[in-house]
Amino acid sequence: MMKYDKENIIDELGLVPFGSQGWLSNKEMACPFCGKPGKWGVIFNDTGGATFHCWKCPRKTSLYEFLKKIGRTDLARVTYTAKPDEVCPRIGEEQTEESQWMTSMELQPLELQPVVLPLRLKPLVGDEYLESRGFNDYHYRLFEPSYTNTPLEPKLRNYIVFKMKMNGVCVAWWARSRYSKEWHKENLELYKQHKAELVLRYRNSESNFQDLLGGYDQLVEGVTQTVILVEGIFDMINITNILGLADVNDVKCCFTFGNSIGKGQIESLLRKKVRNIVLLYDDGTIDESREAALRMRELFDIVMVAAIRRRGVDPGNIDIDYLMEVLESACDPLTFSYNRLEMKI
């Protein structure tokens, strides 16, 4: 069963109560389907599902379609629950439509459309914040971080803009606020009290990020054999630095803009003829890693799940000693699932 992380979506999109029926909205955002501001909302049900509705279109659709339209599929973090005997499909069991494309995927020609970038971007060089997070020349070349101070882009003031490139073509961009997570929480509370304008922690192009593989252009077709998948850019930077992956081509680390793995991201790995996958996500998303690994094992030679189990540790702050321990204990999804069951028992 699919469930959304309600609190994370509310926090990231700055949603506040709208009306008296449980709907949530952000008055600063226009409806992404009709472009009209005002009466649209999202409502979550008791089972973790959610619906989007605009009373001006009128458009009613799933929360995922709404997130896809605004280019925030990274927020579509879902969990799946399954009974122990459903971990692996039974022999002869009919495949779902979702699993069929996984086992019979035919790669289509890659058609790249350049994205429209924010106005008057200026490159960031030697940025104190980025370098405190591990940025070096390798990452500056790969993501070309930049900023803009033009009055024509007021919503991007005090943001760092990163470029997502595929075969040298910039197909998307995303921006991260320089303010801290704590600052944004305070800002949201003030916004709810009508004492401040809402400042989003992230902004991005209207792209389907679930189809984009962060760090794609560092993969060398036929040479890169193994890819470690993580959630975000700073996770990738930390893993790349402590394993020295900038200096080799056979192993690389990429990120998926969230803890789910989209069809387009898997196609990107297959296009580069990657053979082995290691899923290394945060402690709270281990089950999602297992589900993804189960689906991907028919497409790659080896698919492994590496579990970070220490509280407060994630790929973005893990040290080399614990990382090596985690990687050495990585296992295939079936073994991982049975180990998880034994731990619960």
User: For 74-99, what is each residue's pLDDT tens digit?
Assistant: 777 544 333 333 333 322 333 344 44
CATH 3.40.1360.10, applies to 211-344: yes
- Residue 65, pLDDT above cutoff 50: yes
CA–centroid distance for 48 within its chain: 19
Q: E strand or H helix at 239, and its extent? A: helix 233-243
CB 231, CB 318: distance < 8 Å: no
pLDDT in tens, 222-281: 999 999 999 999 999 999 999 999 999 999 999 999 877 888 999 999 999 999 999 998
Return the domain boundaries, the chain: 3-70, 122-206, 211-344
pTM of the model: 0.70
DSSP state of 26: -
pLDDT of the residue at 261: 87
Backbone angles phi, psi at 254, to 5 degrees: -125, 165
The DSSP bridge pattern shows strands 226-230 and 251-255 to be parallel
Please state, in angstroms and as integers, the Cα–Cα distance from residue 5 to each residue in 184, 254, 258, following that order: 18, 23, 12
The C-alpha atoms of residue 252 and residue 32 are separated, in whole angstroms, by 36
CB 51, CB 42: distance < 8 Å: yes
For residue 239, which of 296, 318, 145 has the smallest C-alpha distance? 318
- The per-residue pLDDT of the chain, averaged, comes to 83
pLDDT in tens, 229-246: 999 999 999 999 999 999
Alpha helices in 3-81 (DSSP H): 6-13, 63-69
Backbone angles phi, psi at 183, to 5 degrees: -60, -40
